[in-house]
Structure 1
Amino acid sequence: MKTISKFILFTLLGWKIENNFPKSLKKYVVIAAPHTSWVDFPIAILTRMSLGTMIHFIGKDSLFKSPFGFVFSMLGGTPVDRSKSNNLVDAVVNIFNSRDEFRLGLSPEGTRKKVEKWKTGFYYIAKGANVPIVMATLDFGNKRVKISEPYYITGDMEKDFEVFYDFFKHVKGKNPELF
């Protein structure tokens, strides 16, 4: 699958990847932005498969039921039960704590629509699980995926978010008006 993914991503679609996901770390949160189109998901999956690093995602548990639930599981999805009164951040921290290896990809925007402010759940997940954050861009303007080195949050949310915003500031999404 790695060879096929590389062929599709690099040869057919013309994308490039700058840097790689950390190989020595077994646990971290990946924040990928901008998230402005459904096309982001297949590009992210092709990138992950090309690099040979499993990056998981979370989804409501109903997505993982028959008849197509196995597809989401095969792609690295982890179901989250939202019917309970559990806090999503705590539920994801529990997933991190229960596994020896878990890398979770999230969109800090939380939606494909334009937002004025990013959601903070990814930050609290990284803090609660005591794992670093890796930033990944999907820059459609340059057809380039750029991956950062791991960033260990300082606890100063304002300072940390400046680092995140700076990493993504010149990136163009599929629909740039939404970022």
Structure 2
Amino acid sequence: MTQTCTAFLGTTRLAHGTPAELIATLSGQEQGVLVFDDATGRPVDLDWRGLAPIPQESEAPRRRGRPKLGVTAREVTLLPRQWDWLAQQPGGASQALRRLVDEARKTDGGRTAKRAAHERAYRVMSALGGDLPGFEEASRLLFADRLEAFAAAMAAWPADVRNHVFELAQPSVED
């Protein structure tokens, strides 16, 4: 999946696209520009010299797993009784855990996607609109999942901020 970002100067939306597209579009006018990852709402530091984005966190070295299948080995901490139960499951612990995760995802009802959307919207709205009127009320309404009232609470905000934050507050297919 390609990373997309949105760039703001103050409360004005300047551009939207991949980090490379933003660098090409905004080169020479990057002073004071804030760039946000559209998937997470986190700020992105771009290398305005035209190079790749500067990573926010160092990526862990590739480890065991089946990379071609998308399988990644990670550590899981469980109690002894939980390990004992997993050891008794057909197909082993990994297969049992995959089944449990898939079942939980099916019964999630979109709660995880909604929470991710609210967190991403909050990150951007606090960076761009933390001083705007009604920020606290809008925040409460966002996390209460009252999106119509949330939109109304942001009515006096600059259109670019209001529209982008409301768009981010909507759960996406990828969430």
Does TM, normalized by the shorter one, top 0.5? no
Larger helix proportion of the pair: 2
Larger strand proportion of the pair: 1
**Range of TM-score over shorter length:** under 0.3
Larger radius of gyration: 2
Larger RCO, structure (CA 8 Å, separation 6 or more): 1
